[in-house]
A and B are shown apart, each in its own frame.
Chain A
Amino acid sequence: MPAFDDGSRVSFGADEFVFVELSAEMSLATTLRVIAITDELRNREIPGLVDICPAHVSYMVRVSPEELDPRDVVPRLADIHRAAAGSVGLTIRARVIDLPIFYNDPWTHETLMRFRDRHQAPDLTDLEYSARLNGFQDVDELIAAHSSSPFIATFIGFVPGNAESYQLVPRDRQLEVPKYLRPRTDTPARALGHGGAFTTIYPVRGAGGFQLFGRSPLPVFDAGQRLPDFADSIVLPRSGDIFKYRPIDRDEYDDLRRQVEQGDFRYRIHETVFDLGAFTADPVGYNRTLLEVLADD
């Protein structure tokens, strides 16, 4: 199977899938290229193309072969890759979303203490271990680093509502932690976890291997579509969403839980455009501008 002109590897996932890997290594520039390519593909509304699934540095599509031969998809993808090759000032449409987080909360603490035998550092909490590994004095410094710069959702998947998000900071400031030695068999719903360079909020209770930092009072998955912001979809996150994790205390957590349970909570969501060039030129200044929309509320 030949590669595309830009070096992307393309291959068939049997008769229903085509898989394209742009790079083996994580980089924001590649993610934005994936989003731009898959957005363009979606805009073309090709009959028989039933699923378009962007990931961090790769994507895949699923076809209904009775309507669209997967072999005919490849030249169309090559064409889109070629057209997107020269785009220097890569921008994507994005949403900035305020996500309050109760860091160091009692529920994830109780859970992680139950699984110390599966952890690299049984004598430390996940936050203490991650702070030490990333050269911080204490847990508060880690929380400040995690919550001061926003994250961008670069891969939606695994289970409904899961969104792996990458912090909008240069690579040397990325928080990197390993996953548990052996995954936990339990994680509270809405726990915030960090693994590799990625943060996610666990949509539902279940197994997991990310280091646990805190808990969100707000759901990212709503099967019954009770909350108004889930009217169009059972999941909150979309590829390219920019999450600002905002530290909150127990009182605000309880108050937000009450609003969620009453069914009238509305998320703070602002449409914007993310400009990779502007971000790369001045990450700190760009993030400040990006987050100003939330301050206006």
Chain B
Amino acid sequence: MIEVVAPGLHSSVQDRGRSGYYAVGVPPSGAMDLFAHDAANALVGNAPDAAGLEITFLGPTLTFQVATVIAVTGATVDVAFSNGRRIPLWTSQLVRAGQTVRFAAMSSGARAYLAVRGGIDTPVVMGSRSTYSLSGLGGLDGRTLRAGDLLQIGTDVLPGSRHRPGVQVPDELRPTYPAEQEIRVVPGLCDYRLTGEATEVLYSTPYAVTVEANRTGYRFQGEPLEFLDRTAPFGAGHDPSNVVNLGYPVGSIQAPSGTELICLLRDAVTGGGYATIGTVISADLDLIAQSKAPDQVLFRPVSVETALAERAVRARRLAAIRQLALI
């Protein structure tokens, strides 16, 4: 069992998310930075479906009542035992029964991931342990952590894997989270509603992450985008950015009234009435998850072929990390 001494700003139980319920309005949820989450699981020898903690901006203080192996990945954050001894990131680490682990504020990136050997065991809801707090589903009672919570440790380990501290992800396999970065987008959906000039602007000028950035979506500020004039189709609404309500993919970008961009993330609303103009590739959703105000992004258009190729690159990097943990 793990006791939550202090919950941090926004810590929740997440796994790889749930599939098959988008059509009833339930988004996938799951770790915002899937690469970091998967890497943490690999380091402690967990099965890929094991749940861990997603820790945002300011981390929790946790007391482990049993000895186990943990790993912290993702954002750069000081993690230490109560005696001050630092816990290295992207490395499996032995924790003894009774030890307390304290997370400080993040210095680079926005979200850190804690994996515990065996996973965090909360009830599986609609195929996943991921917390979707908007509707109170999954995780610990459908909500973020509170002081006094007790987290059960599960048994989701890879068959044949051992309790092995000291496994380290080499630098070349660790992502960095710069304050300015390129985010790749597959243009499409309703982008035919934009003027040619707006498409130029979208892919050539930087956009800044605003403070309205959470698991549902990130708002960006930058140059406004213009939509083509038209007679509003029946049922669409009069603003040129309105459409007859439609489904929103995870990662889709919309521009309500053309004045700001919203990129929907893993707790997305599953549909609505604003024209969507492209979708961030899965590999780069991990990077958005690590961005925070006032970081800047430059959206770059890519093909679906590139999106699939980058997905495969990410899978190969993870396979390399899994291999390290098994040797």
Q: For the complex, is B12 an interface residue (Cβ under 8 Å from A)? A: no
Q: For the complex, is A9 an interface residue (Cβ under 8 Å from B)? A: yes
Give the distance to chain B from A146, nearest Cβ to Cβ, in Å: 17
Among listed B20-28, B107-115, B161-169, interface-contacting one: B20-28
CB atoms of A53 and B247 under 8 A apart: yes
Among listed B57-65, B82-90, B185-193, interface-contacting one: B185-193
CB atoms of A21 and B246 under 8 A apart: yes
Query: In the bound complex, how far is the Cα of B147 from the Cα of A99, in angstroms?
Result: 42
Query: In the bound complex, how far is the Cα of B186 from the Cα of A65, in angstroms?
Result: 15
Binary contact track A8-45/B, C-beta < 8 Å → 1, others 0:
01011111110101011111000000000000000000
CB atoms of B270 and A53 under 8 A apart: yes
Evaluate whether A196 and B237 lie within 8 angstroms (CB atoms) in the complex, with A15-B282, A52-B23 already known: yes
Among listed B36-44, B206-214, B249-257, B319-327, interface-contacting one: B249-257
Give the distance to chain A from B302, nearest Cβ to Cβ, in Å: 9
Query: In the bound complex, how far is the Cα of B271 from the Cα of A54, in angstroms?
Result: 10
Nearest residue (CB) in A for B230 is: A24
Give the distance to chain B from A157, nearest Cβ to Cβ, in Å: 4
Evaluate whether A171 and B249 lie within 8 angstroms (CB atoms) in the complex, with A14-B280, A15-B307, A223-B142 already known: no
Given A14, A51, A197, which contacts B282 in the complex, CB threshold below 8 Å? A14
CB atoms of B249 and A17 under 8 A apart: yes
CB atoms of A12 and B279 under 8 A apart: yes
Inter-chain contacts of A233 with B (CB < 8 A):
24
Nearest residue (CB) in A for B238 is: A178
Give the distance to chain B from A5, nearest Cβ to Cβ, in Å: 19
Inter-chain contacts of B126 with A (CB < 8 A):
234
Inter-chain contacts of B311 with A (CB < 8 A):
15, 65
What class of interface size applies to chain B in its complex with A? Answer: 35 or more
Given B234, B236, B272, which contacts A158 in the complex, CB threshold below 8 Å? B272
Looking at B134, B189, B233, B252, the one whose CB has the most chain A CB atoms below 10 A away is B189
CB atoms of B279 and A13 under 8 A apart: yes
Nearest residue (CB) in A for B23 is: A53
Inter-chain contacts of B235 with A (CB < 8 A):
25-26, 56-57, 196-198
CB atoms of B24 and A160 under 8 A apart: yes
Q: For the complex, is A71 an interface residue (Cβ under 8 Å from B)? A: yes
CB atoms of B244 and A156 under 8 A apart: no
Nearest residue (CB) in B for A62 is: B22
Given B134, B188, B192, B234, which contacts A25 in the complex, CB threshold below 8 Å? B234
CB atoms of B304 and A62 under 8 A apart: no
CB atoms of B304 and A56 under 8 A apart: no
Give the distance to chain A from B318, nearest Cβ to Cβ, in Å: 12
Nearest residue (CB) in B for A60 is: B247
CB atoms of A25 and B244 under 8 A apart: yes
Inter-chain contacts of B67 with A (CB < 8 A):
none
Give the distance to chain B from A61, nearest Cβ to Cβ, in Å: 9
Query: In the bound complex, how far is the Cα of B236 from the Cα of A54, in angstroms?
Result: 17
Nearest residue (CB) in A for B245 is: A155
Interface residues of A in 262-276 (CB under 8 A from B): none
Q: For the complex, is A218 an interface residue (Cβ under 8 Å from B)? A: no
CB atoms of A55 and B246 under 8 A apart: yes
Interface residues of A in 163-184 (CB under 8 A from B): 164, 171, 178-179
Q: For the complex, is A159 an interface residue (Cβ under 8 Å from B)? A: yes
Give the distance to chain A from B20, nearest Cβ to Cβ, in Å: 6
Q: For the complex, is B196 an interface residue (Cβ under 8 Å from A)? A: no
Nearest residue (CB) in B for A26 is: B235
Q: For the complex, is B71 an interface residue (Cβ under 8 Å from A)? A: no
Give the distance to chain A from B132, nearest Cβ to Cβ, in Å: 9
Residues of A within 8 A of B (CB): 1, 9, 11-17, 19, 21, 23-27, 50-60, 62, 64-66, 69-71, 155-162, 164, 171, 178-179, 196-198, 204, 221, 223, 233-235, 239
Residues of B within 8 A of A (CB): 19-26, 126, 134-137, 142, 185-186, 188-190, 192, 233-238, 243-247, 249-252, 269-273, 276, 279-282, 304, 307-308, 311, 315
Top-4 shortest CB links A-B: A26-B235, A13-B249, A11-B188, A157-B271
Between-chain CB contacts (< 8 Å), 20 pairs: A9-B192, A11-B188, A12-B279, A14-B249, A14-B282, A14-B304, A15-B307, A24-B243, A50-B19, A52-B23, A58-B244, A60-B249, A157-B25, A157-B270, A158-B272, A159-B135, A160-B21, A160-B25, A178-B238, A234-B24
Q: A11-B188, A19-B276, A178-B237 are in contact. List 12 more A-B contacts (CB 8 A).
A: A14-B307, A15-B308, A19-B249, A25-B233, A51-B21, A51-B23, A66-B315, A160-B24, A160-B135, A162-B25, A223-B135, A234-B26
